[in-house]
Structure 1
Amino acid sequence: MTTVTLTSKGQLTIPRQLRDALGLAPGSRLQASIDAHGRLVLVPAKYEPDDLFRDRPAVSRTMNLDDMDRAIAAAVGREDP
């Protein structure tokens, strides 16, 4: 396990061997979270959430909640009573 030090600005330097193993380069983004044991977990961000919707076709119609409920009921094989 490698030890890193937190700077007064709240920054961490990731040692070269870890950067190389993860394929991190300057400007790489990491997703940060805290696991159930209170450990900081850093995971390379393979994409930005906005990227998922960037090339999505425009929505041609909208549905209200009743329409959605009917569509879900039909998909699971039952119609509304």
Structure 2
Amino acid sequence: MTTVTLTSKGQLTIPRQLREALGLATGARLQASIDGQGRLVLVPAKYEPEELFRHRPPVQRAMGLADMDRAIAAAAGREDP
């Protein structure tokens, strides 16, 4: 097991052997959590949320709120006039 030190700025330096084993390079992002035993868990973040939707076409609003309300009412069986 490797020991890391927390700096006065709250930063950790991940030793080279661990960075290389995980394929981490400068600017890599990690997801951090605390497990059930109170341990800090760092996992390489594979995707940024905005990357997942980068190639999605822009949303075109085909209905207004009143149209949506009517569609919901109709689907629920209580169609508004």
TM-score, structure 2 length as denominator? 0.72
Quote the Cα distance in structure 2 between the aligned partners of 1:59 and 1:32: 32
Q: Report the equivalent of 1:12.
A: 12
Give 1:59 shift. Answer: 2.5
Give 1:57 shift. Answer: 1.9
Write the deviation string for residues 22-70 of structure 1: whole angstroms up to 9, x where unpaired: 0011111111111111111111111101111111122234685874xx5
- 5+ residue gaps in structure 1? 71-79
The CA RMSD measured in Å over matched residues stands at 2.1
Q: Report the equivalent of 1:53.
A: 53
Shift >2 Å, 4+ stretches: 58-67
Give the number of aligned pairs. Answer: 70
Partner secondary structure for residue 49 of structure 2? coil
Quote the Cα distance in structure 2 between the aligned partners of 1:58 and 1:37: 43
Percent of paired sites with the same residue: 71
After superposing the two structures, state which structure 1 stretch, 51-60 or 18-27, moved more. 51-60
- 5+ residue gaps in structure 2? none
